[in-house]
Each structure stands twice: as C-alpha cells, then as structure tokens.
Amino acid sequence: MPHCPTCQKEFQPDDGPAMPFCSERCRMIDLGRWLDEKFGLPVEPEEGGVREPQADADRRG
Ligand SMILES: [Zn+2]
C-alpha cells in the first residue's frame, strides 16, 4: 500500500482520487506548503549600509 506524503497514512490507491495523496485535503496541505516555500521567503535586513554621521568629526590629522 502507498502512504500519503502529507499525513504518512497508508491508503488504498483505489480510494485515492487525489493520488499520490490519500485525500484532497492532504493534497491541498502539501500544495500550501509548497507555496509557502516559494513565496514565504524570510525578509533579511540589508547589511553594510550603516553610516556614522560623526566619522569626520573624530578625525585628527
Ligand atoms: Zn493524507
């Protein structure tokens, strides 16, 4: 028997209209995860753009 990639349950292939998932619900859950990975990228702060406004004032020379 195959097992569902979403819920890991074994199921009868004949009963699975949403192959390779056990049900339409599990199919949608997997699709949701896939979309999360594609569009749910974490926002990273930009680095290297920090400027010290007083940098010139401390310079000796
Ligand atoms: Zn399932």
Residues, the chain: 61
Expressed in angstroms and rounded, the spacing between residue 35 Cα and the centre of ligand 1 is 18
| 28-53 per-position pLDDT tens digit | 999 998 888 887 766 677 777 666 77
pLDDT exceeds cutoff 90 at 55 = no
In contact, 18 and 24? CB cutoff 8 Å: yes
Ion ligand 1: residues, Cβ under 5 Å: 4, 6-7, 22, 26
In angstroms, the CA 43 to CA 7 distance is 30
Distance 40 CA to ligand 1 centre (A): 23
Task: Break the chain into its structural domains and give their ranges.
Answer: 1-33
